[in-house]
Structure 1
């Protein structure tokens, strides 16, 4: 994989249309499970009209995501998209497990402001809820990526903040 890197996407970049906005070299390389982390939402995003996704360490939990192979030249565009220069997210190198048991080393992004871990994602406070459109993009991306059915059902239970207004993404989405 010389000249390329593997990226684990668990949020809006599950959706191919979304990741290809700034990273046209991204090719789907399967799915994986990040163990001992859970999906959470924190930090209001003006772009999305609600809180954006992050991963939070939690023993025994897991997050499913899409694996994307990207050209090294797109590492900077991916960092910029995730707000690394603004200290919104930081890049980590993690190991994910594929459905066949194979382990792969991937780049992933975690918010720099770690939220308090909740017992249940359905109990998320209003200020940490994602917008309707952002959550729909994650749910559609999970379906498109072929994430396990039980994880897709988990994503369906996450409450949104009620915001269904315009988001300036630069792409047309037929999921509203």
Structure 2
């Protein structure tokens, strides 16, 4: 049922001879979805067929949901679904507002990868306690697990990963 459409580029309000291909596919809600920018008709059709196969097999992830920003998903979906547990919720918001969201709020869910998160954690570890950094990464992993469960992502790129070789805490301990 998926098909490809030619999409001509426009320059100065006039159609040019250059074009790309857009895939159109039928979504589970019986509405048409699309994805532009394919260089060939065959690639557009293959991508659409892969989407429809994933839908039939029950493993389809809506590309629009995967593109949702981490901050929006965290605040509007994940945090609202958490059971209120007093200090735990306060700690989560503290970690989110002080460390996580300033860096990751506008990042699409699909864009997360371990390399970037580990590099960020090492940068944060220069100014924050090692336990705080580990808590932040664990919280991000739990949030991305929620994104997988909510069918926003197929897999959690942070699942099962551990920070290793973190620098020692630089704060002096009180006697």
TM interval, shorter chain, is: under 0.3
TM-score normalised over the length of structure 2: 0.24
Which structure is higher in RCO with an 8 Å CA cutoff and minimum separation 6?
Answer: 1
Q: Which of the pair has more CA radius of gyration?
A: 2
Higher helix proportion, which one? 2
